[in-house]
Amino acid sequence: MKKFLLLLTLAFLFGCAKKIPEFIPLSVNWYGFEGDVQAVNPSYKPAEIDSTLEEACLISMTRTLMEDKVIQEKSKNGKEFNVQYLGVAAKEGSALEFRGQCANPEDNTDFEKAILFFVPEKNCNLTARCEKGGKIQNLKIF
């Protein structure tokens, strides 16, 4: 009887134990866009981004992408992401605008000079903005 209770207790404890989420590696290729930002969007005005804001935004965006369930699911299927960022003028100074897509291994486009165009595949495109303090806003995955 004691063995039965011990086994029952252990089974209960293991069944109720909190499962650790699976770690899914995320592969992101970052591209700082050096072209004309108004070619991306005519309403954008170019802005210089200091290295502190750039670093904070890249770290925040990486964290945001790693936590997003849709991106995790795509990564689980072996997808890499190309993410292009560009400096734009914002209400309170400068901001980084992010544009991303699932990477195509055959594509050898230089996204530092060429505009990243979105692919038609569902949930394989993203946009976001990072402003003062490195806070990611308006993440959209489509």
**3-class SS of residue 7:** helix
What b-and-e string marks burial along 17-26, b requiring 16 or more CB atoms within 10 Å of the CB? eeeeeeeeeb
β-bridge partners, 30: 83
Sign of the alpha-carbon torsion through 140, 137, 89, 51? negative
Query: Using one digit for the tens of pLDDT, what is the confidence trace for 42-91?
Result: 999 999 999 999 999 999 999 999 999 999 988 888 889 999 999 999 88
In DSSP notation, 71-83 reads: HHHHHHTT-EEEE
Which carries the bigger pLDDT value, residue 76 or residue 139?
A: 139
- Taking residue 53's Cβ as centre, other Cβ atoms within 10 Å add up to 20
**3-class SS of residue 4:** helix
Query: Using one digit for the tens of pLDDT, what is the confidence trace for 107-130?
Result: 999 999 999 999 998 999 999 999
Q: What is the pTM of this model?
A: 0.80
Element (H, E) at 65: helix 51-67
